[in-house]
Amino acid sequence: MAGLALTLNTAENCLLNTQAEISTSSNNIANANTAGYAEETAVQTQDPSVWSTGGWLGTGASVTSISEARNNYIEQQLMDANTSASYYTNLSSELTTVQTMASDSGSNGISGALGSFFDSWSTLAQDPSDPSAQQTVYSAAQSLASAIQSTYSQLNQAATQIPTQITDTVNQANTLIQQIQQLNQSIVSTGVNSQPNNLIDQRYQAMDQLSQLIPVSFVTNANGTVDVNTVESGASVNLVSGATSYTPITSTSGITGGELGGLLQAQTNVSGYMGQFDDFAQTLESQVNSASGLTIFSGSGASSITASSTFLTGQSASSLSTIAQNMSSLQDSTSVTFTDGTTSSLQQYLSSIQNTIGSDVQSANNNQTYYDALQTQLQNQQQSVSGVSLDQEMVDVIQFQQIYQAAAKVVETTQTLMNTVINMVQ
């Protein structure tokens, strides 16, 4: 049944719809800077038409849902980039600290001490029986031993801090995994058709955070829940199965990506560097002792190497001269075999350790720069889809305002018409 009442009704719906739309815009503007928020749109559909003289007459429109602008494909890509960027950021930060602790520029650090040690023998060769030259040899040997010990213990300290960070990361990841499963449950109980946008936003935010800690891939189910998977030792492992269950991870799960993967890799690298310093200390001890025929160094490896303070006692001038000669040969020997199988000079082995550490840090830094840029690019793409454009909202609001004004005019006009009709009756 068409008539003025229908017109009034249609205009009323339009006023209500426009209010909902302006309210949605207002919500978008308010959340323009909220993490995890996706732009919302009030979706309008036409109301059913009624048969009237001459044909079907429209009866206006209704807001049927508030939809969110999301693109699962871009979001998954962004999470992958998060994982890689976070892996290299953490690896680079850990290794940069270690690099500073193990620093050796050639003029200081272990190299410097090794150089002074050889220099002291060179001076002793000039006057083997000179007590002050002998004293210099003792103190150079002790400085060398303590330089090795101090570098090693600094590395050891760094190495002992990493497991604490690993535990923290695992706990954080498990909290997020549990949170995602709980949000899945809330989404199911709210009903996916009722569009619980804020729950979906929170869940996205949790997955985004989780993707920084460990590699994450997700599948959206028909009931609105997501399944979250990760990669452990090269195989895909389910962490959250919809609203049903979740599986916590452990530090030994075999995860190789994200913050956790970065920390685990840093741990492996640091223990590798420590092993190299240990090799150096053991080889130095055995080579120096064998070249001199004296027990100059003792202890087992870099953690406990010490220098005796009496090794020259009782040596004749002529045997000291020969020892000094052997030490100078050891300095120039490039065929020292280290316990790890490397053959080089003592000094070259030290510079190769620095080269290894430097290369690791450099490669982590370069990868970090690359993945940071990739992450920013993907964040932009994600924001291009899901972000709030203030310009767009302003234009929309103006549009809604005009529609509202037009609908109000319809109400006003219809009222005048109704008054005319009523006056006709009087």
Partner 1 sequence: MRVTLGMSTDETLQNLNNQQEQIDTLSQEISSGVSLIAPSDNPESWSQAMNTTQNIREYNSFVSNINFGTGWGQATESALNQLSSLVTQAKSVAESAGSAEGSAESTTLASQVGGILSQALNIANTQYNGQYIFSGTATDTQAYTMDTSTGAVTYNGNLDYIKIKTATGISSAITPPTSSEAGGGMTSVNLTGQDVLGGSTSGGGSNVLNDIWNLQQALANNNSSGVNTAITALGNDFNQINTQLGSIGTTLSGLTSQQTALSTVITNEQGVLSNYQDTDVASATVSMSKAQAVYQAALEVTSTLDNMNLPSILSG
Q: Which of residues 334-373 bind partner 1 (CB under 8 A)?
A: 347-348, 350-352, 354-362, 365, 372
CB 366 → partner 1: shortest distance, Å? 10
Q: Which stretch binds partner 1 (CB under 8 A): 210-218, 234-242, 318-326, 405-413?
A: 318-326
Distances (CA, A) of 370 to 81, 91, 405: 10, 14, 52
Judged by CB under 8 A, does residue 144 bind partner 1? no
Site stretch for partner 1 (CB under 8 A), options 81-89, 225-233, 278-286, 377-385: 377-385
**172 burial type by CB count under 10 A (0-12 exposed, 13-18 middle, 19+ buried):** middle
In the block, tokens 């150079």 appear at 140
Are the CB atoms for 3 and 57 separated by under 8 Å?
no
Residues 91-110 that bind partner 1 (CB under 8 A): 96, 99-100, 103-107
Among 283, 287, 368, 414, binds partner 1 (CB under 8 A): 287
Longest dimension (CA), the chain: 141
Least distance to partner 1, CB of residue 23, Å: 18
Q: 178 or 379, CB closer to partner 1?
A: 379
97: CB partners within 8 A, 6+ apart: 158
Q: Identify residues 9-28 at the interface with partner 1 (CB under 8 A).
A: none
Q: Which of 61, 385, 403, 408 binds partner 1 (CB under 8 A)?
A: 385
Site for partner 1 in 25-44 (CB under 8 A): 32-33, 39
Indicate the residue among 122 and 339 with the shorter CB distance to partner 1.
122
Considering only 164-172, 237-245, 312-320, 414-422, which stretch makes contact with partner 1 by CB under 8 A? 312-320
Query: Whats the size of the chain, residue-wise?
Result: 426
Q: What is the DSSP string of 313-360?
A: TT--HHHHHHHHHHHHHHHH-S-EEPTTS-EE-HHHHHHHHHHHHHHH
List the one residue from 268, 384, 402, 419 that touches partner 1 (CB under 8 A): 384
Contacts with partner 1: how many residues (CB under 8 A)? 75
According to the binding rule CB under 8 A, does residue 204 interact with partner 1? no
Nearest approach in angstroms of CB 33 to partner 1 is: 7
Residue 68 in contact with partner 1, rule: CB under 8 A: no
Question: Which one-letter amino acid corresponds to residue 404?
Answer: Y
Give the residue ranges of DSSP H helices in 191-247: 197-213
Restricting to residues 115-134, which ones interact with partner 1 according to CB under 8 A?
Answer: 115, 118-119, 122-123, 125-130
Q: Which of left, alpha, beta for 231 (phi over 0: left; psi -120 to 50: alpha)?
A: beta
At its nearest, how many Å lie between partner 1 and the CB of residue 98?
11
The backbone torsions φ and ψ at residue 241, rounded to the nearest 5 degrees and listed phi first, read: -110, 90
Q: Apex CA 64: angle with CA 63 and CA 66, to 5°?
A: 85
